[in-house]
């Protein structure tokens, strides 16, 4: 298939993105507008120069530190209720326009509290933006996954869970919190530190995922599985190095949230062609293809599907199966309601 034919085929599918970060998915145009309104976070730049501080540039960026640097500027403007509400609405709109019909948006409320918002206010603003879009597009399914940062420790993770209990999906007519996650530097903060937090999340009725095996080896995925009991693993890239681990993932039905472009940019893989996605699928592992950070990675979910199709020779049937599998991995209480194929899609 030509690139155009791949794009056309993918545009006929209902897609699900189960791993998309709030602060890595904000429209550069919105951040530029907010920069002009409040103050210039990086003075003396035009829009294209400003955009470099938000999005990966193959000609200039080449390390995990370069990738992580992209999150600093957006935080200048995500400390206010109305901005969070607006950004959440636009995130949903961007996903919809890319063919996404089921979105799980993950957010760490703590880093958006520097101007005085409470954790519940951050989540309420996120819910409001997402709910408004969902009311306008009833076919759109969306939920929130709350992230605790590893470097904040296990006690803070438990406090965060207690703060968001009232924002759970079941307590709201519409969008709410459906899951719990940990993210951040893996090596110094092993999964066992968060064992009690994950037990609490389970008692609260939240589904569980955990970033693991992105910057570290398969042993961190084993530890996450044994200590935390997650339903899904974020990235899990290094699982491809361990045949026994892949057997365990397949046997348990644990989903891997695979993000091709960001795995290349953060150094989890050296080349896209080296990504273990085909190996995961051949091993019978449940996979959800995701974006991670569309703005930072300069990507979209439809682009990630096109990459998988081109690099790994995946057929239309393979892609339909991957899209259906991704949808089935959702934490939403109602599960996945949409069929994979649609007609008359508008973008």
pLDDT, one tens digit per residue, over 176-224 is 999 999 999 999 999 999 999 999 999 999 999 999 999 999 999 999 9
The CATH number of residue 153's host domain is: 3.20.20.140
- When mean pLDDT is compared across 16-25, 38-47, 51-60, 224-233, the lowest value belongs to 38-47
Residue 337 pLDDT exceeds 90? no
Quick check: is 56 in a domain? yes
Quick check: is 74 in a domain? yes
Rounded Cα–Cα distance for residues 212 and 234 (Å): 6
Quick check: is 344 in a domain? no
Quick check: is 172 in a domain? yes
Contacts of 42 (CB under 8 A, 6+ apart): 50, 53, 73
**8 A C-beta contact, residue 117 and residue 79:** yes
The mean pLDDT value of the chain amounts to 94
Total-model pTM? 0.95
Number of domains in the chain: 1
Quick check: is 343 in a domain? no
Residue 293: domain span: 3-328
What pLDDT score does 347 carry? Answer: 35
- When mean pLDDT is compared across 48-57, 85-94, 231-240, 278-287, the lowest value belongs to 48-57
Residue numbers annotated as active site: 214
Q: Tell me the β-bridge partners of 177.
A: 144, 168
276-334 pLDDT, tens digit each: 999 999 999 999 999 999 999 999 999 999 999 999 999 999 999 999 999 999 999 88
Q: Where are the alpha helices (DSSP H) in the chain?
A: 3-10, 28-37, 47-52, 64-69, 81-97, 119-136, 153-164, 195-203, 218-228, 243-252, 260-265, 277-282, 294-297, 301-311, 316-328
Rounded Cα–Cα distance for residues 35 and 33 (Å): 5
**Confidence band, pLDDT 50/70/90 cuts, at residue 75:** very high
Quick check: is 204 in a domain? yes
Quick check: is 97 in a domain? yes
Quick check: is 177 in a domain? yes
What pLDDT score does 342 carry? Answer: 65
């Amino acid at each position: 298939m030509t690139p155009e034919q791949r794009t056309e085929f993918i545009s006929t599918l209902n897609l699900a993105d189960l791993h998309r970060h709030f602060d890595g998915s904000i429209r550069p145009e919105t951040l530029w507008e907010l920069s002009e309104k409040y103050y210039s976070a990086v003075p003396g730049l035009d829009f294209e120069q400003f955009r470099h501080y938000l999005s990966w540039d193959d000609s200039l960026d080449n390390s995990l530190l370069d990738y992580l640097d992209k999150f600093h500027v957006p935080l200048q403007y995500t400390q206010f209720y109305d901005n969070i509400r607006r950004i959440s609405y636009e995130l949903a709109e961007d996903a919809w326009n890319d063919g996404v019909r089921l979105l799980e948006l993950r957010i760490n409320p703590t880093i958006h509290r520097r101007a005085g918002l409470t954790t519940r206010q951050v989540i309420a603003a996120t819910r409001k933006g997402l709910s408004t879009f969902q009311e306008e597009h009833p076919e759109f399914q969306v939920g929130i996954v709350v992230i605790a940062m590893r470097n904040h420790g296990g006690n803070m993770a438990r406090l965060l869970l207690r703060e968001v209990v009232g924002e759970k999906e079941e307590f709201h007519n519409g969008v709410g919190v459906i899951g719990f996650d940990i993210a951040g530097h893996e090596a110094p903060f092993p999964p066992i530190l968060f064992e009690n937090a994950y037990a609490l999340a389970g008692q609260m009725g939240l589904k569980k995922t955990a970033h693991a095996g992105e910057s570290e080896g398969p042993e961190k995925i084993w530890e996450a599985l044994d200590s935390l009991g997650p339903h899904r693993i974020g990235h899990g890239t290094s699982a491809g190095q361990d045949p026994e681990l892949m057997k365990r993932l397949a046997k348990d039905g644990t989903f891997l949230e695979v993000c091709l472009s960001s795995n290349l940019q953060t150094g989890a893989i050296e080349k896209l062609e080296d990504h273990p996605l085909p190996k995961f699928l051949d091993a019978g592992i449940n996979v959800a293809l995701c974006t991670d950070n569309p703005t930072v990675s300069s990507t979209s979910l439809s682009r990630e599907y096109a990459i998988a199709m081109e690099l790994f020779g995946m057929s239309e049937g393979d892609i339909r199966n991957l899209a259906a599998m991704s949808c089935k991995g959702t934490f939403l209480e109602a599960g996945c309601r949409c069929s994979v194929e649609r007609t008359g899609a508008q973008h």
